[in-house]
Amino acid sequence: MRAAPAATEAIANIAAYKFVTLDDTDELRPRVRDWAQAAGLKGTVLLAAEGINLFLAGAQAGIADFLGHLRADPRFADLEVKVSHSDSVPFGKLLVKIKREIIRMNHPAIRPEERRAPSVDAHTLARWLAAGVDDAGRPVAMLDTRNDFEVDAGTFEGAIDWRIQRFTQFPDALLRHREQLAGKTVVSFCTGGIRCEKAALFMQDAGVDHVYQLEGGILKYFEETGGPGFKGRCFVFDGRDTLGPDLAPAACA
């Protein structure tokens, strides 16, 4: 696990999502915006009927205050947050948006709130990668569900990369290349886990056996293990550009 942040890393960066039915996004949006503004945070919050997805940064006290308000809503009481630190806020402004999906796939039958594919935790995956097989002796195929430019910054050694340019292309890519996954334990992964919530379910529905999603994504893997088997850096959609296995931005690496 990563050591505590240095004293100079005054800014907390949080990423979180939850698939949960929200039938009041119009009312929820101004409340979330007001909480974030009062806490001095910047970043993006996406709200949709299927849930919430957020990336925010600010002083640690402000982050704690915002999460206190958000988790007071029973729907978000168990919201899990991934935290990293930086010397400055990597966002220029605060945006709170209502979207059709919190991660767009264009397959409304895929509903992670109702069902979830099995997940593998960071330490178990590190052990599988070191052995080259899972606990049942099957070869492990790492499947990168991110966009091509994200993969170019870094990915797991030997990972399958279908060079998609947006996540909405993943379903068609899977159907074209499904035979590539036969006989293997497939671990889908992305930055923070949200894309794999849908990707793993789609693979199950498409008849792919032995499908897992990496719990918490690459960032959780970095946090828990230090990143064995990952080559390069993890692209992030903010001013930090990429994070290393120590969760440090490029300028601090």
Residue ranges per domain, the chain?
11-98, 119-243
| CB contact at 8 A, 214 and 128 | no
Whole-prediction pTM value?
0.90
| Lookup result for tokens 């793993």 | 200
What is the domain class of 11-98 according to CATH? alpha beta
Catalytic residues: 190
Q: What is the reported pLDDT for 252?
A: 56
| CB contact at 8 A, 28 and 47 | yes
Render each residue's pLDDT in the chain as its tens digit; 253 residues.
444 444 456 899 999 999 999 999 999 999 999 999 999 999 999 999 999 999 999 999 999 999 999 999 999 999 999 999 999 999 999 999 999 999 999 999 999 999 999 999 999 999 999 999 999 999 999 999 999 999 999 999 999 999 999 999 999 999 999 999 999 999 999 999 999 999 999 999 999 999 999 999 999 999 999 999 999 999 999 999 999 999 999 765 5
Q: How far is CA 181 from CA 12, 60, 213, in A?
A: 38, 43, 14
CATH of 119-243, one of 3.40.50.150, 3.30.70.420, 3.40.250.10, 3.60.40.10: 3.40.250.10
Dihedral angle of Cα 152, 157, 158, 159, to the nearest 10 degrees = -60
**Nearest-angstrom CA–CA distance, 212 and 119:** 5
Residues 6+ apart with CB under 8 A from 47: 22, 25, 28, 29, 32, 96, 97, 98, 99, 102
Q: What is the reported pLDDT for 253?
A: 52
Q: 42-48 and 94-98 as β-strands: parallel, antiparallel, unpaired?
A: parallel
Q: What is the reported pLDDT for 4?
A: 44
Kindly state the tokens that stand for 199.
């990707």
